[in-house]
Homo-oligomer: A and B are copies of this chain.
């Protein structure tokens, strides 16, 4: 029903790191060390955040990334959407048995249910700002 994807968690990690790092300018190599993930993978994630307008990236020598807005004005929903994570809920793609009314209508009814579920999921993400999230990380100490 869903796709195991790390995109959202990694994107959030990157955003939190950018928000916490003093000065705020961080290169992708440093970020990759923090996430301990593949550099190319991190660059790709950063690129998405950049395209979504959450991060400003400079290229060339001494290139780096900065948050495009203060953390208060970025929600986890923004990050989720930017991360390109696939929709959390999916339906099967079996053929339809035309003689069966359940089979005929299930997909339509099911996708109504799932899109409602997706909305309530997104709503809960919209209620958390990056600033909140960073505060929680700081609260746990080091």
Chain A interface (Cβ < 8 Å from any Cβ of B): 1-10, 12-13, 16-17, 20, 33-37, 76, 85-86, 88-92, 94-97, 100-106, 108-110, 112-113, 116-121, 123-125, 128, 133, 136-138, 140-142
Given known A-B contacts A1-B9, A88-B1, A88-B89, A94 and B16 have beta carbons under 8 A apart: no
Contacts of A8 in B (CB 8 A): 1
Tell me the number of copies of this protein: 2
Q: How far is the CA of A5 from the CA of B91 in the complex (A)?
A: 8
A42 to chain B, nearest CB (A): 11
Given known A-B contacts A104-B142, A120-B123, A121-B117, A110 and B3 have beta carbons under 8 A apart: no
- Is A1 in contact with B140, judged by CB distance below 8 angstroms? no
Contacts of A92 in B (CB 8 A): 6, 9-10, 37
